[in-house]
Amino acid sequence: MKKPLLVSVGVATIGVLLWTTSAPPSYHEPAGPRPIGPVPEALLEADIGDVIKSELVTVAPELPGHDEILPLPGTSKVLVSARDEWVWLVDTITGSAERLAYSPVSPTGAHLVPGNDRQIYFCMARLDYHQYKHNPGLYVLDLDTKKFTAIATRVPITGKLRDDGLEIPNANPSGDEMVYPKPLNETDIDALNESNSRPMQFCNDLDVSPDGRYVYTTEPFSHPQTSSGLGAFPEGVTLARNGRIWRYDTTKDAIGLVLENNVFADGVLIETDAETGEVVSLLVTETVNFRIGRAHLRGPRAGQYDVLWDNLPGLPDGLDRDADGRIWTALIKERTDLMTWVHENPWIKPALLRIPPEWLPPSKGTGLLTLSPDASEIIAYSHHDGSRVLDISVVAPGDGKLFLPSFHKDNQGLHYLPIEVITRQIP
């Protein structure tokens, strides 16, 4: 055999081996076509331009990339869930920043414990496939001792657990989301064991009922390779319905499932009855599915799920509410033409899953979206070209500011907008 032919055969053999060995796990099975329509007209009408580019304020340049910012009431300080596994404390007036508490896992969403301003709930997740001694889940941070305590790191098995570690969600015939007004398989934390539960693979965002009894946490996907950061790429390609929301009952010390069969359930925001304060529904961002939905837990539509806003121009991430009831979400990355084409042509997805996400062209655009208190109207939209900040994960209102955490690995600094920059343009 001639040398050039031998070389060609060798290269082809190596290519086949690499293709085989890089095959995605069985739980990364692409869904069928996902036609994506035009951006909602209501959003285009609410476009206020790139105010981030012109109005962004940055302090604490030593602060690394981070996922969440929690303003501390009555102070100029904020807590920050940073990518370096530390919770930072930043003073927005002086610009001083310090590492406050080291996290057992990578910190993500945060929320004050109602009635106790010295304790903070945190969601914990793996970051970029890092290995940790402790498991992701719901934790609480004591600001006095600067120590974390695990609250819920295991969840009851509610579907069929496969040998590869993927729990197959229960699905109705339509393939839509399953909402459980009475949490499915609610189990005391102390009763969870190897036979009736599994590790929580990802705790991303949370919200707490006003009375402090219920903590709702999102688990965007739940297989063994789960992680934030790079781990989100396969989910964005496959659009697998592995997203779940769990309810932890602080009174009973029990946890159960309230939503499953969702695509990348990320941000969660409680909606309550104005008179009773009872939790009636949950707003949910389906990040890689370009959607915001509502899961009904009480009332005539209990057990149903509505898509409120679809075909968004970016990937909606965290959800928050300001003092006037308006709802804020970040669009962590813009929806590119390539994303749209891939979802309309799923035959390319198996090949994409074999490509390291770092090799693909990055999406630099990011932005924010403002909804009316009942989420029925889009009242402000701002797209940012990424020139000043990348990968905005949350819009966190507080102290007359809109804090804009950047989850980008190379981010430096804490970023915010004066809230009036947005609100003065809202009719």
286, 262 contact by CB (below 8 A): yes
For the chain, which ranges sit under pLDDT 50?
5-21
pTM of structure: 0.94
The pLDDT value given to residue 17: 39
Per-residue DSSP letters for 109-177?
EEEEETTEEEEEEEEEE-BTT---SS--EEEEEETTTTEEEEEE-EEE--SEEPTTSPEEPP--TT---
Per-residue confidence (pLDDT) for residue 256, from 0 to 100: 98
pLDDT at 24: 66
Extract the tokens encoding 399. 């102290």
Residue 346 has what pLDDT?
Answer: 92
Cα of 216 vs its chain's centroid, Å: 13
Output the pLDDT for position 18.
42
What's the pLDDT score for residue 315? 97
| The pair of three-digit structure tokens given for residue 292, joined into one six-digit string | 């915001």
The 3-state DSSP class for residue 14 equals: helix
| Planar angle of CA 417, 317, 165, nearest 5 degrees | 150
The CA distance from 154 to 202, in Å, is 10
Alpha-carbon gap, residue 395 to 405, rounded angstroms? 7
Tell me the per-residue pLDDT of 28-57, one tens digit each, with 9 for 90 and over. 777 788 999 999 999 999 999 999 999 999
* Domain ranges, ordered by start, for the chain: 32-68+321-427, 103-311
Whole-angstrom distance between the N-terminal and C-terminal Cα of the chain? Answer: 77
* Structure tokens, 189: 């934390």
- The DSSP output letter for 259 is E
The 10 Å CB-count burial string (b at 16+, else e) for 51-73 is bbeebbebbbeebbbbbbbbbbe
Strand partners, 321: 327
Q: What is the pLDDT of residue 358?
A: 84
179-208 pLDDT per residue, tens = 999 999 999 999 999 999 999 999 999 999
Amino acid at 343: H
